[in-house]
Amino acid sequence: MEIFKPEPPERVVAYFNPGSTHRIAAEEYIDYLISNRILDGLPIIKLPTERDQIAMNESLHANVLEGDVAASFSGDGGTNSILEASRVHPLHPLLVIGAFGNANDIAKMLHVGRYLEQPELAILEGLAAKLYPLSVTAYPPGQDPVNIHAYAYWGCGTTGRMAVQYCHSEVREKLDKIGDKKLIGKFLRLYSEFNIARNELHASQPLTFTDESGSRNLTEINYSNGKIESKVLRFPEELLRHEAVRLEVERPTLPSAVASFALAALHHIVILDSKSTDRFKVNAAADFLTQADGQPKAFPSGTEFQVGLDEQFVYVYTTLRKYIREWQRQQELLTT
């Protein structure tokens, strides 16, 4: 990965997602940075992200000028829209990404330790790098192709349903009592069909994935970017035939037979390099959900997908130690 030490910015344009469950925390944090002049007195402008991608592109174009840094104080969905806007920005501005969402996978991919909680420190201490997103093209039957970019992950199956279910306040309030976010994620992978009227979670139903090697039934397929490896998660058929779980209990619990698999889910690693692509078709009983960096999208049964790495990159701050060590080695070579 190409890395470099960027010039100090002249101004920071800080975006928050007004539709996020963490909106108040994000706004308060930006206000704290402004009132306390945390970034060595750099001017900071606070703006909301736009729900429509074209409007987001126009906002970034109009407000992020030469010498500015764009900052995302949002979760993966809002950050994805900002990164997409930077792809079409004529200046290709540098971005810093904070962790103000539920999963924060993009932030985790680029930062370590305190930089997740204090993203502004990346502007003062971090390096800049090129980030190549995953490029997904969907071919719904009888419709025009749909192009999707994902900067941390793209998933098909329970990945999208998980996010939709967790957005229901009834589900979130009860599952949050579990405390362990990883366990919550594994719980929702198994029980990702929420019946609001009956307050029940039902078992995830598998999809049929077909590629050149044949067909297989899986509850989900995930492609991840950066240091997070891509995974195809498999669950044995018997796990898909248990009863619905009532959400009225104080701490939702998994049946013991299911828990052992949920906590140690079998998976197959799929690594994509810059020259390889995967292509497959998905068949389901009804429309199914995909998700790119926190943004779910439904497709009809029979949709084909092509997944690879995009050729166009964006510039982002990173404080990952492996990139810092690589940059330090480059500097040592220049001085010897």
pLDDT tens digit string along 293-324? 878 889 999 999 998 888 888 888 887 666 66
Please list, in sequence order, all residues whose beta carbon lies within 8 angstroms of the beta carbon of residue 113, skipping any fewer than 6 positions away. 319
Bridge-based pairing of strands 11-16 and 44-48 is parallel
Pair 91, 66: CB distance under 8 Å: yes
**Alpha-carbon gap, residue 300 to 78, rounded angstroms:** 25
Going from the C-alpha of 37 to that of each of 12, 30, 66, the distances in angstroms are 12, 11, 21
For the chain, what is the domain count? Answer: 2
- Residue-level pLDDT at 143: 96
- Residue-level pLDDT at 199: 59
Pair 282, 209: CB distance under 8 Å: yes
Same domain, residue pair 148 and 242: yes
CATH code at position 27: 3.40.50.10330
Q: Report which of 127, 124, 71, 78 is spatially closest to residue 98, judged by C-alpha positions.
A: 71
Residue 304 identity (one-letter amino acid): E
**Alpha-carbon gap, residue 226 to 152, rounded angstroms:** 7
Give pLDDT tens digits for 42-98. Answer: 899 999 999 899 999 999 999 999 999 999 999 888 999 999 999 889 888 999 888
Cα angle 197, 201, 207; round to 5: 115
Same domain, residue pair 178 and 159: yes
Same domain, residue pair 87 and 53: yes
pTM score over 0.85: no
**Alpha-carbon gap, residue 242 to 257, rounded angstroms:** 10
Q: Which two tokens stand for residue 38?
A: 């945390």
Same domain, residue pair 325 and 257: no
Q: Which two tokens stand for residue 26?
A: 């994000």
Same domain, residue pair 53 and 191: no
Same domain, residue pair 255 and 319: no
Going from the C-alpha of 101 to that of each of 57, 188, 335, the distances in angstroms are 21, 18, 42
- Binning pLDDT at 50, 70 and 90, where does residue 22 land? confident
Same domain, residue pair 202 and 317: no
Same domain, residue pair 126 and 152: no
Q: Give the bridge partners for 234, in sequence order.
A: 266
Same domain, residue pair 261 and 140: yes
Question: 48 exposed, middle or buried (CB, 10 Å; 0-12, 13-18, 19+)?
Answer: middle
* Structural domain of 153: 134-309
Q: Report which of 14, 6, 21, 24 is spatially closest to residue 59, judged by C-alpha positions.
A: 14
Mean pLDDT is lowest, of 51-60, 252-261, 323-332, for 252-261
Give pLDDT tens digits for 201-235. Answer: 666 667 788 888 888 777 777 777 754 333 333 33
- Binning pLDDT at 50, 70 and 90, where does residue 256 land? very low
Same domain, residue pair 151 and 49: no
Same domain, residue pair 165 and 285: yes
Same domain, residue pair 71 and 40: yes
CATH code at position 232: 2.60.200
Pair 93, 68: CB distance under 8 Å: yes
